[in-house]
Structure 1
Amino acid sequence: MASKPLYIVVAAVGIAAASGAAWWYQNKPAARPDAVAAGNGGAAVPASSAGPARPPAVEVARVEVVRLSDEAQAVGTLRSRQSVVLRPEVSGRVVRLNFRDGDRVRRGQLLVQLDDNLPRAQVQQAQAELSIAQANHKRNQELVAQNFISQRSVDESGAALQVAQAKLALARATADRLRIVAPFDGIAGIRSVNVGDYLRDGTDIVNIEDLDTLYVDFRLPERFQTKVRRGQTALVAMDALPDRQYSAVVQAIDPLVDANGRSVGIRGCIDNRHLQLRPGMFARITAVFGERDNARLVPEEALVPQGTRQFVYKLVDGPDQDTRIARRVEVKVGLRQPGRVEITEGLQPGEVVVVAGQQRIQRDGMPVRVAEMPRNGGATPVAAVLPSRAAGAQAEVPRPAGPNPCAQAPSR
């Protein structure tokens, strides 16, 4: 029984020793580099002899001078300058079709003739009545000059003559309504009637489309209403013709802003004498408001925004060939393009700006080094031209010889 207190003391001492050893292991001081080197049989190296840290590496790009367009993107639909669906004004049976599907037709050309036997007979009857009325009136004028009849008889024969003339005009108008002619120069569509069909008034016969000139209707946000003007040029591309590009001249601007979408309707005119385009096609429009030849562009990644202000890090010569000094410069931003931005103030052409690694620059005037850029990698270079005029873009279709029909008023 006397050994029991001894066991308790030995256990307490063992627990205390284990706790102290664990604390020492967790909090032991790290070995100094010079002591480690000496322990390995090498000479002790002082920590101060390792030298200063290397400057951080950054990726850069130069300020490029390019020809920049102030433009906006939109989608639209092609429409004929003139389009009509021919319909008869009166009922009748088709006796003659003077066109084929897809034919070019001229203004005033007879396209469809309805049965006009009865109206032509009425015209002949009216002509005969007019001849009688003219003869009676002439005879009465001669008789009244000899005082054989009264002036009242002459007035009555003159009125009868006017009635006969009106009947003839009515008969001819009725006959003319059975002749359906082309209202303007264009191309006929696919007809929906045949010879022998009986047509009621208002029945669709065929559509006529003026394709020499096409309209492209599109809408732009209301913020562009002060920039768009009549006579400006818009570039038009079609998904159906991906390798071609067309020019459209702005001809009309809707004075009413759409309250639903807050957009302005615009109509452009395309010279289509090549007949490559068709009404109803989907179009992608680039409205060009102006161009500048000496715009300065940098990659968008170069901007470092702070509140409402924009900054970039410009590199200047450093103390040696491999080191540059990063200077923070406030800039004014102009137009933006996908992946690039225009600098109106703060940078000059050819200067070098940081496009990646700005977070490593801890202060203004800090030394940095330019990272080796892998081929076809790193910062995106600024193209010398815009996407709409870049190499490989759609080729603009040349205009045919002769006056541009977009500059001419449509035929009436």
Structure 2
Amino acid sequence: MIHVLVMGLPLVAGLALGVLAARRRWAPPLWAAVAVGAVLRAAMMLIAAQDTWQPYDLAVDFPATADAVLDGRDPLFELREGGWHFLPLLAYLLAGVRALGDLLGLPWGFTGRVVPVLADLALIPLVAKLSTDPDSRVRALRGLQYACAPVVLMVSAVHGQFGPITLVLGAAALLAARNGGVHLAGVLIGLSVTSANWSVLLLPGVLLAVPGLRRRLTVLGWTAVVPVAFLVSSVPVFGTPIDRLPATLSASLSARPVVGDWGWTAIVTGGEQVVSAGYGTVGTPVLALALLAAAWWWRKADPVALTLALLLVFLIVTYRFGAQYLMWPMPYLIMRWGRGTWPVIVVTGLWAAFAYLFMTRLTPAPWQDAHIWWALSSLVVIAFLIRALPARPRPASPDPS
């Protein structure tokens, strides 16, 4: 209970500050929003780094990947079965962080969280700049509200997950596209896709922000070239045979088929977490169809609304889930503030906090009992996500003249 109170204090403080800022209509300069975000994330990171519990992927898979790279071994073929698989971008980042931490004598529990936290801080000004609100004071407020959002604090500073890196590259690509930097937008979204394959959900919004077929093809070209270049880099860096690259790609896209944590699979399994590839056989085409339908339904929306819709639909329909997924739509949800934004911020923060702060303290039997209700309660979270979906743009009225 003491742990929950200590870890929960920065989360409550951030949420309270975000609510107070909205009520008082504060418009802090970007440096102030970033400073607030840095203080909150530093507090969470320092507490989490000294905790007896560490996320398994952060404590085991991430340093194992870093060590494989530093030893000149292809990390895609060195990790445990069902463990995290990385395209070289994240593997190289992990290796660099590992080497720097060893040089400075810093523990992995701290250094392993640094890059996600820095990427999350970089998202604060991007959220403000990409906000769809025409009022500059409100856009400044949006940056502060993102800095204070509980779920992003937990994903970056407690879990040390790489969602912030993928999102900051995607958001930067959208900003570059909006400002006419076609090649830069393509490289950035290509790097985002290279860091996580779910980043393809960010690509349609970037393409929508680029006028003209030729420029969109340029973005698509870079989006394809950058991941391929990183994939091929394993040949000179690790000595991976060229004929092994297809297997490398397949390994990087694979994932352990854990279901029952969220949504419809939680209903089917009765809230039990199970490992079954069969759910993916059904869930993958259903998810693909849902995303295609969403892309068509919001095809005339602005880039932020389209991206938000795709990310929310993914969460609503997905069969495989981790609590860190809840961070994915958060920057775009705050950029395009609506009536459902506050409820989603609060509900996702509470739901994720129950997992990160409380369930991690439980022994296997109590954890299993708590997991059943936690997984089934995801249906409540999904209801709020549905409510937060952006409105479909209305067709333009014909000119009466």
TM > 0.5 between the two?
no
If you compute each CA radius of gyration, which structure gives the higher value, 1 or 2?
A: 1
* Structure with greater proportional helix content: 2
TM-score by length of 1: 0.17
* Structure with greater proportional strand content: 1
